[in-house]
Amino acid sequence: MMTTSTLPIAVKSAPSRSWQVMDWLVRRPSSFTLLLIVLVCGVVGAINPTFYSVANLFDILRASVVLGLFALGVLVVLAAGGLDVSFAAIAALVMYSLTKAVVQFWPDAPLALILLAGAGGGMLLGALNGLLVHTLSAPSLIVTIGTQYVFRGFLLTFIGTELFMNVPPAMDAFGKATLLTLNTASGGQTQLPAFVLVLAAAAILTWWLLERTLMGRAVFAMGGSLNIAERLGYNLRTVHVFVFAYAGMLAGVAGLMHVAANRLANPFDLSGIELDVIAAVVLGGARITGGRGTVAGTLLGVLLVALINNVLILAGVPSTWQKAVIGAFIVLAGAVFAIRRRG
């Protein structure tokens, strides 16, 4: 009687649930960012339940407007494979010089015209960045570091350094305008400012640009590979100028929103915000080398950075640790996204 030997059979074990969750997160960077937001909210809320209030929500939304406008501009530049660090200098130059000029020459200028002038001024300065990057064939980081110093130096040398509190009436009224006013538990009132609509409009415009236009395809193609984008027939000079001009336009508007919200113009304002903005875009899932990024992810990154900068104090975390927390999240996000690329 012959016996049949039993051969070992290799059985591929099913992935564990925890690994499935990790795989799902690394394939959806914005979901990972959302998880970090939930984690921060849960920890802060557990330590200090007063965090869960409408007033805090409105404060975070208010703090996200300028940061978000900057981040949307940086997203477009990053998607094209570049990096812009001059946006804060552009915003400072536009907001201070324009506010001063309007008060001196046309105090009753309508808000629409002021915003149009700010957007146009920022666009011109951004387009200069794009022309320099393309003409010099130099890394955009180096070029925009240089123009950042040029813009700030021009502002401080020729326009002024004085704190300017006499803002145009139209900007002052817009800064005070509210969408919603609610009573708080303490008997006071909290307000949702109307200028959050500017961020919403910019987000919709940026999404449409990147996802529904030929220019958006060109931006992602150039971010993926300059050589391939050129072979596909895209005009690299046009794309370079466009992405930096778009970032400059949003920077100009962001500067005016900063003046309207604070009702003062300070040439030293917004200095140092660059790393927070880049952190928000990277935490939102944009690839630092270009070719990938979404508006939804960027807004989640902005929300995360705004949370860290504004509410960690409620959990007893000193303000000096805010940058450390953001840095730790960037390292964590980088590790997760690296797993995604290897997967």
At 326, the amino acid letter reads I
Signed CA dihedral, 142, 145, 150, 153: sign only: negative
Using a CB cutoff of 8 Å and minimum separation of 24, what contacts does 175-180 make?
175/259, 175/260, 175/261, 175/262, 175/263
Q: Give strand ranges (E) for the chain.
A: 178-183, 189-193
Find the largest Cα–Cα distance for the chain.
110
Can you tell me which residue has the tokens 């996200």? 64
Domains along the chain with CATH numbers: 36-342 (1.10.3470)
| pTM to 2 decimal places | 0.90
Q: How many CB atoms lie within 10 A of CB 216?
A: 17
Sequential pLDDT tens for the chain (343 residues): 444 444 454 444 455 565 555 555 556 667 888 988 999 899 888 988 888 888 889 999 999 999 999 999 999 999 999 999 999 999 999 999 999 999 999 999 999 999 999 999 999 999 999 999 999 999 999 999 999 999 999 999 988 888 888 899 999 999 999 999 888 777 778 899 999 999 999 999 999 999 999 999 999 999 989 888 888 899 999 999 999 999 999 999 999 999 999 999 998 889 889 999 999 999 898 888 888 899 999 999 999 999 988 887 777 777 778 778 888 888 877 776 666 555 5
Within 13 Å, how many C-alpha atoms sit on residue 304's CB side? 36
